Amino acid sequence: MFVEKTDPQIARLIKKETKRHQETLNLIASENYPSKAVREALSSIFVAKYAEGRPYKRYYGGQEFIDKLEVLVEERVRKVFKLNPKKWTVNVQPYSGSPANYAVLRGLLKTGDKILSLPLSHGGHLTHGAPVSLSGQDFKVVNYFLNKEGFLDYGEIEKLAKKEKPKLIICGFSAYPRKIDFKKFSQIAKKVGAYLLTDTSHITGLIIGKVHPTPFPWADVVMTTTHKTLRGPRGAIIICKKELEEKIFKKVFPGLQGGPHEHTICAIGVALKEAMSAQFKKYASQIIKNAKILAEELEKYGFNLISGGTDNHLLLVDLTNKNITGKEAQILLEKAGIVTNKNTIPYDPRPAFDPSGIRLGTPAVTTRGMKEKEMKKIAFWINEVISNPKSIPKIKQEVKKLCKKFPIP
Ligand code: DSN
């Protein structure tokens, strides 16, 4: 590493973070390991360029290859989702999911307009109208909720939509372990004259791999981050119906952002090409197989899963019957080299900083090549750590040993 010579202090931190990843199991549902090719593209010379504006309509000189790059990446987005360019338009410039969602909301709505969304505490996202987020402060937010079994209840959502008449409905979640019926959401939105924004950040890789239903043609706008199951760099994409382009893209730039991060866009392009491969389809399907087996095994150990299992890449575990909180479990598991995040469960009686659950996801361990056999081991270790914390030092060694066999790309 060049940085070792120029900046040993930062180099040490990079090394330590690398080692941490190498020696631990990353079960954070929103994280993943991009390929070396993606990371190389991310550190390419495209980092050096300002490119405010849309392709071929820029404010600075020197755009010959930037324009070609951005148009190519937009084309790949349309190709991967098989989108008709006459109907759908793509913007790969958003810095990440949160500003992208905000740009969509500010583009389609007036301040004070009504949004209907799932709250953070039930698995929604901060930027879907949480009171502490600008999305919750600029708009009036009404929430739908999961039912007591932990599922979306489309009948209830429709009733609420008819009563509240929102201008925009958001679906697509951060901690929902089941498939989303985008068609139903679209029917509800149409009935009340609302826009439908689908935030597919968590499941875009599964959609491309054809193991989760697609939001096309049901959504008016699809927003996705690029670094979760899609396995690209940290960034975001907005895809919207042609007629909404003017409203939304102006909010991305100049509304909210300055120069797009072209090195990120370059790496998104590389990730999209990878996602079109047969190998990626296998990867997406293995993510789900792994999540399902992890769920089954944990259930055997008496863990309660919200909704009783999973159809996607994540599990939400209610730890109430294990007499441990989400925060305590997260800390204990991390000591054993198993990295997770504490998470509220629907109708959680506990506060968000120490909720009743943990969220577990399989995208990152699946990228490392782990399969059903390893998931069984992981479930065993999770149970051991939580039921017998004295076993932590021993399990930490076992986790390390397993991790060695499955290097990070
Ligand atoms: N909501 C975060 C997560 O799913 O981890 C990402 O913003």
State whether 130 and 53 are in the same domain: yes
Q: Is residue 22 part of a domain?
A: yes
Q: Is residue 360 part of a domain?
A: yes
For 69, how many CA atoms within 13 A lie in the half-sphere containing its CB? 25
Q: For a substitution probing ligand 1, which of 98, 120, 125 has the most ligand atoms within 8 Å of its CB?
A: 125
- Annotated catalytic, 199? yes
For 367, how many CA atoms within 13 A lie in the half-sphere containing its CB? 29
The CATH number assigned to the domain holding 360 equals: 3.90.1150.10
State whether 29 and 62 are in the same domain: no
Nearest residue to 106 (alpha-carbon basis) of 195, 171, 217: 195
State whether 96 and 201 are in the same domain: yes
State whether 100 and 161 are in the same domain: yes
State whether 263 and 282 are in the same domain: no
Q: Is residue 262 part of a domain?
A: yes
Residue where one domain finishes, among candidates 248, 275, 302: 275
Three-state secondary structure call for residue 394: helix
Distance in Å, CA 60 to ligand 1 centroid: 34
Q: Which one of 76, 167, 228, 292 is the catalytic residue? A: 228
Residue where one domain finishes, among candidates 225, 246, 275: 275
Residue where one domain finishes, among candidates 258, 275, 292: 275
Q: Is residue 4 part of a domain?
A: no
Q: For ligand 1, atom 3, which residue shows the shortest CA distance?
A: 30
Q: Is residue 2 part of a domain?
A: no
Output DSSP code: residue 48: G
332, 351, 32, 393 alpha-carbon torsion, rounded to 10°: 0
Q: Which one of 39, 140, 234, 250 is the catalytic residue? A: 234
Q: Could you list the pLDDT tens digit for every one of the 409 residues in the chain?
A: 899 999 999 999 999 999 999 999 999 999 999 999 999 999 999 999 999 999 999 999 999 999 999 999 999 999 999 999 999 999 999 999 999 999 999 999 999 999 999 999 999 999 999 999 999 999 999 999 999 999 999 999 999 999 999 999 999 999 999 999 999 999 999 999 999 999 999 999 999 999 999 999 999 999 999 999 999 999 999 999 999 999 999 999 999 999 999 999 999 999 999 999 999 999 999 999 999 999 999 999 999 999 999 999 999 999 999 999 999 999 999 999 999 999 999 999 999 999 999 999 999 999 999 999 999 999 999 999 999 999 999 999 999 999 999 999 9
State whether 165 and 189 are in the same domain: yes
Dmax over Cα atoms in the chain, in whole Å? 64
Q: For ligand 1, atom 5, which residue shows the shortest CA distance?
A: 30
State whether 131 and 53 are in the same domain: yes
State whether 194 and 153 are in the same domain: yes
Q: For ligand 1, atom 4, which residue shows the shortest CA distance?
A: 174
Strands 57-58 and 53-54, by their bridges, are antiparallel
State whether 101 and 196 are in the same domain: yes
State whether 148 and 258 are in the same domain: yes
Q: Is residue 293 part of a domain?
A: yes
State the residue range of the domain holding 401: 18-34+278-405
State whether 80 and 150 are in the same domain: yes
State whether 260 and 347 are in the same domain: no
- Annotated catalytic, 176? no
Count of domains in the chain? 2
Q: Is residue 143 part of a domain?
A: yes
The neighbouring-strand residues paired with 115 are 141, 168
pTM, whole model, 2 decimals?
0.97
- Annotated catalytic, 225? yes
- Nearest ligand 1 atom to alpha carbon 98: 7
Q: Is residue 8 part of a domain?
A: no
The CATH number assigned to the domain holding 196 equals: 3.40.640.10
